[in-house]
Amino acid sequence: MEIEAKDAINNKADITLKSAEIENQETDVENREMDVDNRDTDVENVEVDMVEDSASEEDDACTPPDAAMDVNVSCDDECAEPIKIMQSFREYVQVERLDGENKYDAGDYGRREYFSSELNPLRFAFPDKLCLKEFMEGNGEDYTYCLHAVLVHSGDFHGGHYVVFINTGLRPPGEKYKPKWCKFDDDVVSRATVREAVMANYGGDDGESTGRTYTNAYMLVYVRQSCIDDVLCQNENLQVPAHLVQRFENEREEENKKKKEKQEAHLYTEIVMVTDEHLASYNGFDLVDPKLLDDTGLPREKIEKNMTIPQLYDYVKSKLFSGESEIDVRIWKFEETTYKDEGSIMSALPRLRPTSLIPHSEETQEKTLEAVLENDRNLLYIETTASHSLRSYNENSEMLMFLKYYDEESRSLRYVGHFIVAYRQSMSAYTNECLKLIGLPEGTPLRFYEVSNAEVAPDRIRLIESLGKPLCADNTVVEVSDGGLLIAERQDRTNDTNNAKLHLDTLYNTIDIEAIANNDSFVSSHAEIDPPITGTIGLNWTMRQLVDYIGKEINYDPAKILLWRVSPFNDRATQFLTDAQCKVLRVNGLLGLAGAQLHDPRRNKRYRVVYTKMPIPIADMERKRQMKIQMMDEKMAITEITIFPEKTGTVRDILEEARREFKFAPNGTGKLRLVYVGQSSQSMRAYMIFKEETSVMEVFQKTMTPSMYMGRVEEVPQDQLVVRSNEYLVPIAHFDKDPGRMFGVPFFLKVSNDELLSSVRERIQQRLDIPDKEYEKYKFALISSSRVVRYLDMTSNGRVNLAELGHAHVASLVTSPYLGLDHMNKSRGARGSHAAEKAIVIHN
């Protein structure tokens, strides 16, 4: 705790008291004292910074002014009452003669500091008034200080929040005084009670709450009572700068405006206006970009819902055409629709087309927008022509059509305009009008396609074979409705390899992909990971074409590339494709785009393809069994790989597969074995060594749950190549206090019957390469059926008894005994590391 008093003698008016933590323990409410808990502070030395030290009575005393001085407070173990700050001042001003052994050491090294290993539970009390007159010399001034502010921190060492409580009700002596505390929290100032400002900020354990509080006062500010008028003076001539007044006013107006808009939002609707110029600037699929509603570049206005339709027409003209009343316009409402052929089970992609006219007629003079615009945001097509004159439109016999033109030279589509057609007229009646929109001379032969579904699915683009038949006749156009879309191309310049339908088919089936290598299941953990591949492929490609593409990009044999299905939710690999599936599947099926969910090129999505580089051809996987195994090197480091032995093979085949990846010791035996090991904290031990004649399927059955049991390939140590009848490979495992809390890497150690236990202990230390100091903490236990049979004194003259180790007969692998090494599991995290420990029970 540290207390700092500023200019107590030089008529300055505040004293600041700093504390590490203030705790609410048995607070003297009547005296309004603040008890500061110093449990987290160094109780040996409580520092008090004074402006100037008191004058010594000794003539030779050193009396220079000092900006800060330390004040020591004695903390006795027998202290039961709070140590008041006044006591600290009194002890500070006591005369102490520095003679004998208590002289200050001015040597090279100074005095050695003393640190206490335990902190005494002492409290320090701070009253709401401090009278320091007895510590001051001189002119008889009043040195009474009043508590003015409490600075508070909420949180812990890692972070938190700071606030300050200020008593704005301080008054000079003689005036009526009533505490008036305010809380200053960033830009928010609010009233606070005495309890909130003082009593609630002690931190520590609060008897009124169930847990520990984390709100602590760390600094107190006192004001000299005689200087309250100077410090808290009323400045009647204070003027707020003009720019701040204007800023506050603007903020207030903006806030009121937003509040009003929110309250009146139900009275307004937003319109987004689309013209032919906007349609011509879009070269993608369908008529318009679905993102038009979010495009800030389009004209958009917020209008009242009670506006009439004639008012809407006038409003649109004023915004788009500077109010020219002679311009003819028609306003159409865009709607998202989905066309589906009768009898078809295939889904169709939605489209955005102007399909509903908002008529401007005598019947709609009094009709308001609330009746025709249902949404809060509406996309409107503003129909006009270059001549600013529209031909008449009969909604009962005519429809609005839009036209795109395929340029065979640039192999691109562009929007050219719109026109009105009659249901009973043939397409040939509008050929010249279409040529005029395209900009081609009269008589140029044209071919027309009808786009029935957003022009994105090639099977939805139909050739209009007979231009002389009425549009309403069967098999002429499928949709006889407003908002239809036609594509025209020159009949004399297009062919089977260059036409609009083929162009759209190519665009639709070309997709962007990102090919990611999946090394989680089939390769060793130290294998190199290839970077992602980005590029374009065909949606109708076969799997053979896809693996050829990937193989070329990563320079790998395509026959050994395994493809995976990907989850549509998180783009993670779920299931790999078999060789039979690869022969019939295409990319759209691999990506799940062949059924109810269709590819929509308007989304510009980059699809993910997942592959794995396999060590064997994919065609051979049908007769092989996938197995995940561990490999342990000479330093007992564990890696995992996936191998593919023949289903009809044996352990010998498993070892041959693993030999390709295994790193042998420089002077090792070169012989491998397969060990059956547990993986959970209740079974993390070595059980047995598989015989080389054991079938692959038997090993697979035992290790089919890798989280419980696995096979581990390891090099046979030199001393274990031969195991005689009086020798035994004893399993050794690690555990922490409880055999149900196993950890580490288990292993086998060869022991001989009647061998000294001290010799076994020494060889275990050599195998684990553990320093003597750490190894001294190890305890050794004989464990069977997950229970400690007894602890062994491995430093005595005891000897190995193979019969006790189950050498003669083992009922089952689970109950077979093993030698357990009981020591701390250092891999456990510090946080919550004792969560699994058993409770300590004290029996009376």
Residue 41 has pLDDT above 80, yes or no: no
Q: Phi and psi at residue 399, in whole multiples of 5°?
A: -150, 155
At residue 318, the 3 state secondary structure works out as helix
State the Cα–Cα distance between residues 184 and 219, nearest whole angstrom: 15
Diameter over CA atoms, the chain: 128
Residue burial 400-413, b: 16+ Cβ < 10 Å; e: rest: bbbbbbbebeeeeb
Nearest to 597 by CA among 637, 566, 640: 566
Residue 827 has pLDDT above 90, yes or no: no
Strand-pair category, 398-407 with 484-490: parallel
Residue 21 has pLDDT above 60, yes or no: no
State the Cα–Cα distance between residues 15 and 219, nearest whole angstrom: 10
State the Cα–Cα distance between residues 111 and 98, nearest whole angstrom: 14
Strand-pair category, 606-613 with 638-643: unpaired
SS (H, E, C) 37-72: ECCCCCCCCCEEECCCCCCCCCCCCCCCCCCCCCCC
C-alpha 448: how far from chain center: 52
Per-residue pLDDT, averaged over 189-199, amounts to 90
Residue 556 has pLDDT above 90, yes or no: yes
Residue 760 has pLDDT above 50, yes or no: yes
- The pair of structure tokens assigned to 767 is 């195998």
Output the DSSP codes for 741-768.
EEEEEEEEEEEETT-BHHHHHHHHHHHH
Residue 22 has pLDDT above 50, yes or no: no
Mean pLDDT lowest for which of 37-46, 382-391, 505-514, 581-590?
37-46
- The pair of structure tokens assigned to 374 is 């249902």
Strand order in the sheet with 779-784: 738-752, 727-736, 818-822, 779-784, 787-792
Q: Phi and psi at residue 380, in whole multiples of 5°?
A: -120, 135
Per-residue pLDDT, averaged over 506-522, amounts to 85
Per-residue pLDDT, averaged over 314-336, amounts to 85
The length of the chain, given as a count of residues: 844
- The pair of structure tokens assigned to 4 is 């700092």
Identify the pLDDT of residue 312. Answer: 93
At residue 429, the 3 state secondary structure works out as helix
At residue 534, the 3 state secondary structure works out as strand
Residue reference for tokens 């699915």: 457
Identify the pLDDT of residue 844. Answer: 37
Residue with the bigger pLDDT between 87 and 758: it is 758
Per-residue pLDDT, averaged over 23-46, amounts to 37
State the Cα–Cα distance between residues 606 and 513, nearest whole angstrom: 5
Residue 382 has pLDDT above 90, yes or no: yes
Amino acid, single-letter form, for residue 495: N
Identify the pLDDT of residue 561. Answer: 93
Instruction: Quote the radius of gyration of the chain (alpha carbons, Å).
Output: 44
Residues 401 and 418: beta-carbon distance below 8 Å: yes
Mean pLDDT lowest for which of 94-108, 177-191, 335-349, 564-578?
335-349
**Interacting residues of 619 by C-beta distance below 8 A, sequence separation 6+:** 559, 579
Residue 757 has pLDDT above 90, yes or no: yes
Output the DSSP codes for 224-288.
EGGGHHHHT---TT----HHHHHHHHHHHHHHHHHHHHHHTGGGEEEEEEE-HHHHHT--SSSSS
Residues 152 and 217: beta-carbon distance below 8 Å: yes
Strand-pair category, 2-5 with 47-49: parallel
Report all structural domains of the chain as residue ranges with CATH numbers, in order of start. Answer: 2-231 (no CATH), 268-387 (3.10.20.90), 391-496 (3.10.20.90), 506-621 (3.10.20.90), 626-822 (3.10.20.90)
At residue 653, the 3 state secondary structure works out as helix
pLDDT bracket for residue 810 (50, 70, 90): low
Identify the pLDDT of residue 48. Answer: 35
At residue 113, the 3 state secondary structure works out as coil
Strand-pair category, 727-736 with 818-822: parallel
Strand-pair category, 686-689 with 212-224: unpaired
Q: Where on the phi/psi map is residue 443: left (φ > 0), alpha (ψ -120 to 50), or beta?
A: left
- The pair of structure tokens assigned to 380 is 């409107």
**Interacting residues of 195 by C-beta distance below 8 A, sequence separation 6+:** none
State the Cα–Cα distance between residues 659 and 631, nearest whole angstrom: 10
**pLDDT, mean over the chain:** 80
- The pair of structure tokens assigned to 586 is 């295409």
pLDDT bracket for residue 572 (50, 70, 90): confident
Amino acid, single-letter form, for residue 370: E
State the Cα–Cα distance between residues 710 and 475, nearest whole angstrom: 66
Alpha helices in 533-636 (DSSP H): 543-554, 579-584, 587-590
Residues 37 and 74: beta-carbon distance below 8 Å: no
Residues 430 and 416: beta-carbon distance below 8 Å: no
Residue 566 has pLDDT above 60, yes or no: yes
Q: How far is CA 13 from CA 139, 303, 565, in A?
A: 16, 62, 77
State the Cα–Cα distance between residues 722 and 644, nearest whole angstrom: 30
Residues 543 and 590: beta-carbon distance below 8 Å: yes
Amino acid, single-letter form, for residue 135: F
Mean pLDDT lowest for which of 536-545, 620-629, 781-790?
620-629
Nearest to 21 by CA among 219, 221, 222, 158: 219
Q: Euclidean distance between the first and final Cα of the chain, in Å?
A: 42
Q: Phi and psi at residue 735, in whole multiples of 5°?
A: -150, 160
CA torsion, ordered 465, 468, 473, 474, to nearest 10 deg: -20
Nearest to 126 by CA among 89, 181, 76: 89
Global pTM value: 0.57
Residues 316 and 382: beta-carbon distance below 8 Å: yes
Output the DSSP codes for 685-724.
SEEEE--TTSBHHHHHHHTS-TTTEEEEEEEPPGGGS---
Q: Phi and psi at residue 126, in whole multiples of 5°?
A: -120, 115
- Which DSSP symbol is given to 646? B
pLDDT bracket for residue 67 (50, 70, 90): low
C-alpha 329: how far from chain center: 51
- The pair of structure tokens assigned to 596 is 């109810």
Residue 600 has pLDDT above 70, yes or no: yes
C-alpha 648: how far from chain center: 47
State the Cα–Cα distance between residues 409 and 425, nearest whole angstrom: 31
| H or E element, residue 529 | none
State the Cα–Cα distance between residues 165 and 182, nearest whole angstrom: 6
**Interacting residues of 102 by C-beta distance below 8 A, sequence separation 6+:** 96
State the Cα–Cα distance between residues 485 and 452, nearest whole angstrom: 7
For 45-62, write each residue's pLDDT tens digit.
333 333 333 334 444 445
**Interacting residues of 494 by C-beta distance below 8 A, sequence separation 6+:** 406, 408, 447, 500
| H or E element, residue 438 | helix 431-438
State the Cα–Cα distance between residues 320 and 317, nearest whole angstrom: 5
Per-residue pLDDT, averaged over 408-412, amounts to 93
- The pair of structure tokens assigned to 210 is 């169930």
Residue 519 has pLDDT above 70, yes or no: yes
Q: Phi and psi at residue 576, in whole multiples of 5°?
A: -85, 160
Tell whether the torsion through CA atoms of 31, 36, 42 and 48 is positive or negative. Answer: negative
Per-residue pLDDT, averaged over 352-373, amounts to 88
